[in-house]
A and B are shown apart, each in its own frame.
Chain A
Amino acid sequence: DGGITQSPKYLFRKEGQNVTLSCEQNLNHDAMYWYRQDPGQGLRLIYYSQIVNDFQKGDIAEGYSVSREKKESFPLTVTSAQKNPTAFYLCASSMGGHLYEQYFGPGTRLTVT
Protein backbone atom coordinates (compact mmCIF):
# COMPACT_ATOMS: atom_id res chain seq x y z
CA ASP A 1 0.00 0.00 0.00
CA GLY A 2 1.25 3.46 -0.88
CA GLY A 3 1.31 6.02 1.85
CA ILE A 4 3.17 8.07 4.41
CA THR A 5 4.50 6.62 7.62
CA GLN A 6 5.56 8.51 10.70
CA SER A 7 7.23 6.94 13.65
CA PRO A 8 6.87 6.68 16.49
CA LYS A 9 3.23 7.63 17.21
CA TYR A 10 4.12 8.89 20.69
CA LEU A 11 7.50 10.25 21.76
CA PHE A 12 8.64 11.46 25.16
CA ARG A 13 11.82 13.43 25.79
CA LYS A 14 13.47 15.39 28.55
CA GLU A 15 13.96 19.11 28.11
CA GLY A 16 17.33 19.96 26.58
CA GLN A 17 17.51 16.87 24.36
CA ASN A 18 17.31 16.92 20.58
CA VAL A 19 14.83 14.47 19.05
CA THR A 20 14.35 13.32 15.46
CA LEU A 21 10.95 12.47 14.01
CA SER A 22 10.80 10.10 11.09
CA CYS A 23 8.74 10.56 7.90
CA GLU A 24 8.83 8.15 4.98
CA GLN A 25 6.67 8.05 1.83
CA ASN A 26 6.41 5.52 -0.98
CA LEU A 27 4.13 7.60 -3.19
CA ASN A 28 7.02 8.77 -5.38
CA HIS A 29 6.13 12.35 -4.45
CA ASP A 30 8.68 15.10 -5.05
CA ALA A 31 7.55 17.50 -2.31
CA MET A 32 7.41 16.86 1.44
CA TYR A 33 6.32 19.02 4.36
CA TRP A 34 6.37 19.24 8.15
CA TYR A 35 3.58 20.88 10.11
CA ARG A 36 3.02 21.52 13.76
CA GLN A 37 -0.46 21.39 15.33
CA ASP A 38 -1.23 22.62 18.85
CA PRO A 39 -4.46 21.70 20.68
CA GLY A 40 -7.49 23.29 19.05
CA GLN A 41 -5.33 24.97 16.45
CA GLY A 42 -4.77 24.72 12.73
CA LEU A 43 -1.63 23.57 10.95
CA ARG A 44 1.52 25.66 10.87
CA LEU A 45 4.27 24.96 8.34
CA ILE A 46 7.72 24.26 9.78
CA TYR A 47 9.81 23.25 6.74
CA TYR A 48 9.16 22.01 3.24
CA SER A 49 11.18 20.42 0.48
CA GLN A 50 10.26 20.51 -3.19
CA ILE A 51 13.12 18.30 -4.34
CA VAL A 52 15.89 16.10 -2.96
CA ASN A 53 18.79 17.98 -1.35
CA ASP A 54 16.77 21.20 -1.12
CA PHE A 55 14.45 22.56 1.56
CA GLN A 56 12.98 25.88 2.68
CA LYS A 57 11.88 27.34 5.98
CA GLY A 58 8.18 27.61 6.63
CA ASP A 59 6.43 29.98 9.01
CA ILE A 60 7.83 28.59 12.27
CA ALA A 61 11.25 27.07 11.47
CA GLU A 62 13.14 28.37 14.53
CA GLY A 63 14.36 25.53 16.73
CA TYR A 64 13.87 22.88 14.03
CA SER A 65 16.11 21.35 11.36
CA VAL A 66 15.50 18.97 8.46
CA SER A 67 17.36 17.05 5.78
CA ARG A 68 16.27 15.62 2.43
CA GLU A 69 18.95 13.19 1.31
CA LYS A 70 16.49 10.73 -0.24
CA LYS A 71 13.25 11.34 -2.13
CA GLU A 72 11.25 9.13 0.20
CA SER A 73 12.55 10.47 3.52
CA PHE A 74 12.26 13.85 5.26
CA PRO A 75 13.27 13.62 8.94
CA LEU A 76 12.61 16.52 11.32
CA THR A 77 14.87 17.28 14.28
CA VAL A 78 13.39 19.21 17.17
CA THR A 79 16.35 20.87 18.84
CA SER A 80 16.77 22.06 22.40
CA ALA A 81 16.46 25.60 21.05
CA GLN A 82 12.73 25.09 20.36
CA LYS A 83 11.02 26.80 23.30
CA ASN A 84 7.70 24.93 23.23
CA PRO A 85 8.35 21.58 21.53
CA THR A 86 5.37 19.67 22.93
CA ALA A 87 2.91 19.36 20.03
CA PHE A 88 1.43 17.07 17.39
CA TYR A 89 3.72 16.88 14.34
CA LEU A 90 2.38 16.03 10.90
CA CYS A 91 4.32 15.10 7.79
CA ALA A 92 2.80 15.43 4.33
CA SER A 93 3.79 14.94 0.72
CA SER A 94 2.58 16.04 -2.70
CA MET A 95 3.50 15.37 -6.29
CA GLY A 96 4.79 18.93 -6.62
CA GLY A 97 4.62 21.26 -9.59
CA HIS A 98 1.03 22.44 -10.12
CA LEU A 99 -0.49 19.52 -8.22
CA TYR A 100 -1.14 20.94 -4.77
CA GLU A 101 -2.95 18.05 -3.09
CA GLN A 102 -1.05 17.13 0.06
CA TYR A 103 -1.39 13.75 1.72
CA PHE A 104 -0.71 13.41 5.42
CA GLY A 105 0.86 10.80 7.64
CA PRO A 106 -0.72 9.70 10.94
CA GLY A 107 1.31 12.16 13.02
CA THR A 108 3.70 11.95 15.97
CA ARG A 109 2.74 13.37 19.35
CA LEU A 110 5.86 14.71 21.05
CA THR A 111 5.85 15.44 24.77
CA VAL A 112 8.84 17.18 26.32
CA THR A 113 9.06 17.46 30.11
Chain B
Amino acid sequence: GQQLNQSPQSMFIQEGEDVSMNCTSSSIFNTWLWYKQDPGEGPVLLIALYKAGELTSNGRLTAQFGITRKDSFLNISASIPSDVGIYFCAGQPNTGTASKLTFGTGTRLQVTL
Protein backbone atom coordinates (compact mmCIF):
# COMPACT_ATOMS: atom_id res chain seq x y z
CA GLY B 1 0.00 0.00 0.00
CA GLN B 2 0.96 3.62 -0.43
CA GLN B 3 2.92 5.38 2.29
CA LEU B 4 3.31 9.08 2.74
CA ASN B 5 6.75 10.67 2.62
CA GLN B 6 7.74 12.41 5.82
CA SER B 7 10.78 14.60 6.30
CA PRO B 8 13.07 14.80 7.96
CA GLN B 9 13.39 11.13 8.94
CA SER B 10 15.03 12.14 12.21
CA MET B 11 16.21 15.27 13.90
CA PHE B 12 18.21 16.31 16.93
CA ILE B 13 17.34 19.66 18.37
CA GLN B 14 18.15 21.61 21.50
CA GLU B 15 15.56 22.23 24.17
CA GLY B 16 13.74 25.46 23.47
CA GLU B 17 14.12 25.31 19.70
CA ASP B 18 11.21 25.25 17.28
CA VAL B 19 10.67 22.15 15.14
CA SER B 20 9.16 21.77 11.69
CA MET B 21 8.32 18.59 9.83
CA ASN B 22 6.21 17.82 6.81
CA CYS B 23 4.39 15.09 5.00
CA THR B 24 3.87 14.87 1.25
CA SER B 25 1.89 12.75 -1.15
CA SER B 26 1.59 12.43 -4.90
CA SER B 27 -2.20 12.26 -4.62
CA ILE B 28 -4.89 14.39 -3.03
CA PHE B 29 -5.98 13.76 0.55
CA ASN B 30 -9.28 14.70 2.23
CA THR B 31 -8.02 14.53 5.80
CA TRP B 32 -4.66 14.89 7.53
CA LEU B 33 -3.92 13.60 11.02
CA TRP B 34 -0.80 13.93 13.15
CA TYR B 35 0.16 11.37 15.80
CA LYS B 36 2.97 11.03 18.36
CA GLN B 37 4.27 7.65 19.44
CA ASP B 38 6.40 7.03 22.51
CA PRO B 39 8.61 3.90 22.58
CA GLY B 40 6.59 0.74 23.17
CA GLU B 41 3.26 2.60 23.18
CA GLY B 42 0.43 3.21 20.76
CA PRO B 43 0.29 6.44 18.74
CA VAL B 44 -1.64 9.31 20.29
CA LEU B 45 -3.67 11.66 18.10
CA LEU B 46 -2.37 15.23 18.27
CA ILE B 47 -4.24 17.18 15.60
CA ALA B 48 -6.85 16.46 12.91
CA LEU B 49 -7.26 18.63 9.79
CA TYR B 50 -10.26 18.40 7.49
CA LYS B 51 -10.07 21.40 5.17
CA ALA B 52 -7.46 22.63 2.65
CA GLY B 53 -5.59 25.61 4.09
CA GLU B 54 -6.77 24.86 7.64
CA LEU B 55 -4.37 25.82 10.43
CA THR B 56 -4.99 24.21 13.81
CA SER B 57 -3.15 24.48 17.13
CA ASN B 58 -2.95 22.22 20.15
CA GLY B 59 -0.82 23.89 22.80
CA ARG B 60 2.70 24.30 21.40
CA LEU B 61 1.78 22.27 18.32
CA THR B 62 0.47 23.79 15.10
CA ALA B 63 -0.45 21.84 11.98
CA GLN B 64 -1.55 22.96 8.55
CA PHE B 65 -3.45 21.25 5.75
CA GLY B 66 -1.65 22.25 2.54
CA ILE B 67 -3.60 24.21 -0.07
CA THR B 68 -2.76 21.67 -2.78
CA ARG B 69 -4.21 18.94 -0.48
CA LYS B 70 -1.05 16.93 -1.14
CA ASP B 71 0.89 17.95 1.94
CA SER B 72 0.70 18.85 5.60
CA PHE B 73 3.06 20.47 8.09
CA LEU B 74 3.56 20.15 11.84
CA ASN B 75 5.39 22.73 13.93
CA ILE B 76 6.39 22.41 17.57
CA SER B 77 7.39 25.59 19.35
CA ALA B 78 9.84 25.82 22.24
CA SER B 79 10.57 22.08 22.38
CA ILE B 80 10.90 20.31 25.73
CA PRO B 81 12.38 16.88 26.57
CA SER B 82 8.97 15.18 26.63
CA ASP B 83 8.54 16.04 22.94
CA VAL B 84 10.91 13.16 22.19
CA GLY B 85 9.24 10.45 20.15
CA ILE B 86 8.17 9.53 16.65
CA TYR B 87 5.70 11.75 14.85
CA PHE B 88 3.49 10.17 12.19
CA CYS B 89 1.28 11.86 9.69
CA ALA B 90 -1.73 10.01 8.32
CA GLY B 91 -4.21 10.89 5.63
CA GLN B 92 -7.44 9.74 4.08
CA PRO B 93 -6.94 9.65 0.29
CA ASN B 94 -9.54 11.29 -1.94
CA THR B 95 -9.98 8.07 -3.88
CA GLY B 96 -9.47 5.68 -1.01
CA THR B 97 -11.85 3.51 0.97
CA ALA B 98 -13.76 5.49 3.54
CA SER B 99 -12.20 5.14 7.00
CA LYS B 100 -8.91 3.67 5.72
CA LEU B 101 -5.86 5.80 6.50
CA THR B 102 -2.46 5.93 4.82
CA PHE B 103 0.43 6.48 7.26
CA GLY B 104 3.71 8.29 6.84
CA THR B 105 7.09 6.78 7.55
CA GLY B 106 7.60 8.86 10.69
CA THR B 107 9.93 11.61 11.94
CA ARG B 108 12.01 10.68 14.98
CA LEU B 109 12.57 13.67 17.23
CA GLN B 110 15.31 13.77 19.85
CA VAL B 111 15.79 16.74 22.12
CA THR B 112 19.06 17.57 23.83
CA LEU B 113 19.25 19.74 26.92
Chain A interface (Cβ within 8 Å of chain B)?
Answer: 4, 6, 31, 41-45, 48, 50, 56, 58-59, 88, 90, 92, 94, 96-98, 100-107, 109
Contacts and interface: CB of A to CB of B under 8 A. Distances in A.
Main secondary structure of the interface of A (DSSP, over half): strand
Size bracket of the B interface: 20 to 34
Interface stretch (B13-21, B43-51, B58-66, B72-80): B43-51
Contacts of A48: 99-100
Given A43-B88, A104-B35, 14 more contacts: A4-B42, A42-B105, A43-B43, A43-B103, A45-B1, A50-B98, A59-B1, A90-B42, A94-B99, A100-B30, A100-B31, A102-B45, A102-B101, A107-B42
Given A43-B88, A44-B1, A59-B1, A101 B98 contact: no
B24 interface: no
Interface of B: 1, 3, 30-31, 33, 35, 40-45, 48, 88, 90, 92, 97-101, 103-106
Nearest to A48: B100
| Cβ-closest 6 pairs across A and B | A104-B42, A59-B1, A100-B92, A43-B103, A100-B31, A42-B105
A101 B45 contact: yes
Contacts of A97: 98-99
A76 B22 CA distance: 33
Nearest to B104: A42
Nearest to A104: B42
A50 B48 CA distance: 20
Given A97-B98, A100-B33, A100-B92, A42 B42 contact: no
